[in-house]
Amino acid sequence: VQLQASGGGLVQTGGSLRLSCLASGLTFDDHSAGWFRQAPGKDRELVAVTNWDGTYRKYEKMAEGRFTISRDNSRNTVILEMHSLNPDDTAVYYCAMDKSAAVYDSIWYQKRVDYWGQGTQVTVSS
């Protein structure tokens, strides 16, 4: 299984980025999918997660109203659109997938997902 994240970069405060995660080696629409991030010196934290068909989406408070998670099962891709970025959003962003089609908090909040991507750096300048 491979999860290839892309779309990170350097952006100014208030800007936007669109992260993509292309999955291979698994039955994509059998899995829930999400994004985590890890800032320097901090624990990895959940940002957003969605179920197998995208009908259920959950966001952490820092992402609500600014970020949107979506998925295209025909293209094995999970997307995180981020708007109104600020320096606190600076982190390495990781996509992840789990064999559970539904979203279980016990899996996602405890970071017990089955597959991790390699991460993509997002840097927001002030």
pLDDT at 60: 97
- pLDDT tens column, 35-76: 999 999 999 999 999 999 999 999 999 999 999 999 999 999
Q: Quick one: DSSP state of residue 107?
A: H
- 31 three-class SS: coil
Indicate the pLDDT class of residue 95, thresholds 50, 70 and 90. very high
Q: Specify the DSSP element, H or E, that contains 108.
A: helix 105-108
pLDDT at 97: 98
| Average pLDDT, integer, range 86-113 | 97
| Average pLDDT, integer, range 110-114 | 97
CA distance 97 to 106: 14
Q: Of 46, 20, 33, nearest to 101 (Cα)?
A: 33
pLDDT at 72: 98
- Rounded to the nearest integer, the mean pLDDT of the chain is 97
